[in-house]
Amino acid sequence: MDCAVSLAAKFGVLPIFQGHRLRPEAGSGHGRDLLLAAVDVIRVKWAIPNMFRSVSVRVLFLIILLAPHSLVVSAQSVPSKSSKVSTATEIRVIDPGWWPTKGTSARDQYVGSETCGRCHQDINATQTNTSMAHAVKSATADAFANIPHEMHFRTGSYDYSLSRTASGAEYATTNGQQSASSTVSWVFGDRQFGDTFLYQQNGIYFESRVSYYRSLNGLDLTTGRTRFSPSRIETALGRRMPPDEPPLCFGCHSTASSTDGQFHPERLIPGVTCEACHGPGAQHVAQMSLEHDARSSTLIFNPARLSPADSVDFCGACHRTSADVSLNSITGIFNLRFPAYRLEQSRCWRNGDARLTCVACHDAHKPRVQGAAFYDKVCLSCHSPGGGVPKDRAHAASICKVSNHDCVSCHMPKYPIPSMHTDFTDHKIAVHGDQFTE
Ligand code: HEC
Ligand code: HEC
Ligand code: HEC
Ligand code: HEC
Ligand code: HEC
Ligand code: HEC
Ligand code: HEC
């Protein structure tokens, strides 16, 4: 369900060439500059932009060029230089060191979150309850629990149905003359607002044309799909995904779906679990199992050490960074899905501030807190008498004359995205109107 906006964008014109121009301060060395220059030359010389429309070809190409520089990804390495501006994720993942969605580590370097939980019990206990941890599931009977046993939906000349079975669910469509059906193989989403179904035929992935929406407790068109009436029954059932697309979906919704630079869905860990964010943990576990004095370093990526802009980009590896959004010229109401982009448009953000990163408001290991009061302390850390730290005095933040509590209820309102049957929070902190107008 898409994520269509971003995927369309991902498959659109290659943003990577503009990428390094956007981030003058964030270099990471000679290797990459050479690489970018080389790619530019090749692109101009051979004029084969279409080749670069394909993400995997592009990434493969970049990896080959960068080798052996980037093939060895060790979880402990951090970006060599911290930046103050947002960077495109496509650049982040070819930089050396760990970054979420990077798929170059070996599968046997991943240990799974149960192992992490042996020593980090509290974190594991709450992280398991997050939506992120359930962002994709294998389509067993459990994955369809708490939704109606049989759902129907009609659009144009097609009738759709999703019927639960003993082992999962059967997804079907008919127009009276012809019918098509398939067993669902993967359920994407944790029903924050909806679930989209993936099925496979002859090894090819398809995305269901309809999705389950929680607010409807029923089916409607998958976000991003149009109401045109497909002429072929197969097209009516679902969208055949180009081969580059499933690795992207699984890359953001699961852990270790791509390893050694290859997509291996049969070996993935469902959901966004510890190692999707911290990188593969085998070396860390080995180190931490040694006597205290024998340990060299922790050998695991701790995002707490990132600069504010990098920290927001870190979550943006999946939620999209500001650079990802601007490079792909995504405009209008769909921007609400991109919190990093909206946040960094706020006057509060300026050049980045640790008091306003994603993790200042959201604990990465817990479900998000609903309700406004919880977030007041974040706003008041700047917008209260003495709130700005001394060196900030020139930018001292002002005090609200309207209210002294529930700040986000007015300054970060929720607006509906109608085709998604849900509201999103506007992360651009400002004095807003009743309607989303940008
Ligand atoms: C054998 C016990 C053990 C296991 C298993 C374990 N950890 Fe740790 N972890 C520790 C200890 C102890 C520390 C604190 C180390 C220190 O501060 O010197 C730590 C620290 C960390 C840190 C902070 C590192 C830093 O440099 O600040 C992260 C992140 C982390 N662990 C994540 C994980 C993840 C993810 C897993 C599973 C892949 C995991 N841990 C498995 C014992 C463990
Ligand atoms: C760049 C990372 C990224 C990619 C690629 C991606 N997603 Fe997502 N997806 C997200 C994030 C982040 C969210 C949560 C925020 C939002 O809804 O925008 C999400 C939300 C969803 C939801 C709603 C979840 C819920 O609980 O309501 C569904 C369904 C979904 N994605 C399906 C897909 C499918 C299917 C694909 C591939 C066609 C895909 N996504 C590709 C990152 C991604
Ligand atoms: C590896 C990809 C990935 C990374 C990295 C990531 N997210 Fe997510 N996040 C997702 C996906 C996918 C969803 C949608 C889950 C669903 O409902 O299916 C999501 C949902 C969420 C939600 C809404 C669900 C809830 O718990 O209320 C919040 C909040 C969130 N992420 C915060 C963060 C923060 C903060 C960071 C950075 C520390 C982060 N995410 C990093 C993939 C990611
Ligand atoms: C969505 C991304 C995400 C996931 C999933 C995730 N973490 Fe973290 N983790 C973070 C971020 C971001 C920080 C830094 C938090 C901060 O700056 O306050 C962090 C910090 C930590 C730390 C260091 C705490 C400290 O005080 O420095 C440990 C240990 C840790 N995580 C363990 C885990 C374990 C174990 C899991 C799985 C059960 C896990 N994390 C899952 C993003 C994530
Ligand atoms: C100043 C506080 C604040 C910051 C910073 C912040 N958020 Fe949020 N976020 C919120 C609030 C408030 C909500 C709505 C909570 C609720 O459901 O009542 C929210 C909701 C969300 C949701 C659920 C979908 C939605 O739009 O309602 C996601 C996903 C999310 N945030 C991700 C992020 C990410 C990623 C970042 C960093 C780029 C971030 N947030 C930074 C306060 C913040
Ligand atoms: C890191 C410090 C910081 C944090 C945290 C912060 N702000 Fe701000 N905010 C500023 C600064 C600096 C400005 C610009 C100067 C001013 O108007 O006070 C600003 C401006 C504003 C404005 C005026 C915006 C405009 O476009 O004119 C509003 C409204 C606002 N903040 C509300 C909030 C709310 C609500 C929160 C919590 C969700 C918050 N701020 C968190 C620093 C911060
Ligand atoms: C009931 C809605 C509401 C709540 C709740 C609210 N505000 Fe406001 N706030 C407003 C409105 C409306 C304005 C614009 C007032 C004007 O222009 O005269 C404003 C203005 C501001 C400004 C800009 C002031 C200036 O002089 O430029 C800041 C900063 C701000 N609010 C911060 C906050 C903070 C922090 C909180 C929570 C402690 C908060 N607001 C709670 C409605 C609200």
pLDDT at 50: 33
Distance, in Å, from the CA atom of 215 to the CA atom of 213, rounded to the nearest integer, reads 6
Decide: 131 in ligand 3 pocket, CB within 6 A.
yes
pLDDT at 418: 86
CB within 8 Å of 103: residues ≥ 6 apart: 247, 251, 257, 258, 259, 261, 262, 263
- Ligand number nearest CA of 306 is 4
pLDDT at 20: 22
Contact predicate 86/79, CB 8 Å: no
Distance, in Å, from the CA atom of 158 to the CA atom of 156, rounded to the nearest integer, reads 6
pLDDT at 330: 83
Contact predicate 194/214, CB 8 Å: yes
Candidate of 127, 187, 318, 336 to mutate for ligand 3, largest count of ligand atoms within 8 Å of Cβ: 318
- Indicate which residue's Cα is closest to atom 7 of ligand 6: 348
Q: Quote the tokens at residue 181.
A: 């059906």
pLDDT at 159: 97
Strand partners, 195: 212
Decide: 274 in ligand 4 pocket, CB within 6 A.
yes
* CA–centroid distance, residue 363 to ligand 1 (Å): 17
Rounded CA Rg of the chain: 23
pLDDT at 18: 20
pLDDT at 66: 39
Cis peptide before 303 (omega within 30 of 0): no
CB atoms near residue 239 (< 10 Å): 18
What does the pLDDT look like over 233-290, one tens digit per residue? 999 999 999 999 999 999 999 999 999 999 999 999 999 999 999 999 999 999 999 9
Contact predicate 2/315, CB 8 Å: no
Q: For residue 356, which phi and psi values (nearest 5 degrees)? A: -135, 20
* CA–centroid distance, residue 26 to ligand 6 (Å): 26
CB atoms near residue 151 (< 10 Å): 18
Distance, in Å, from the CA atom of 91 to the CA atom of 19, rounded to the nearest integer, reads 7
* CA–centroid distance, residue 284 to ligand 1 (Å): 6
CB within 8 Å of 218: residues ≥ 6 apart: 148, 151, 153, 212
Q: Which residues of 387-402 are buried (b: 16+ CB within 10 A; e: fewer)?
A: bbeeeeeeeebeeeee
- Indicate which residue's Cα is closest to atom 27 of ligand 7: 398
- Indicate which residue's Cα is closest to atom 33 of ligand 1: 116
Question: Half-sphere exposure (CA, 13 Å, Cβ side) for 409?
Answer: 11
pLDDT at 9: 39
Distance, in Å, from the CA atom of 200 to the CA atom of 178, rounded to the nearest integer, reads 20
Q: What residues of the chain score a pLDDT lower than 50?
A: 4-80
Distance, in Å, from the CA atom of 328 to the CA atom of 155, rounded to the nearest integer, reads 31
* CA–centroid distance, residue 248 to ligand 6 (Å): 35
Contact predicate 11/50, CB 8 Å: no
Q: Which atom of ligand 4 is nearest to the CA of 117?
A: 35
Q: Quote the tokens at residue 30.
A: 């000679």
Q: HEC states along 270-311?
A: ECCCHHHHHCCCHHHHHHHCCCHHHCCCCCCCCHHHCCHHHH
Domain ranges of the chain: 134-240
DSSP line for 181-230: EEE--EEE--SSSEEEEEEEETTEEEEESEEEETTTTEEEEPTT------
CB atoms near residue 73 (< 10 Å): 20
Q: Quote the tokens at residue 326.
A: 């601007």
* CA–centroid distance, residue 2 to ligand 2 (Å): 6
Cis peptide before 119 (omega within 30 of 0): no
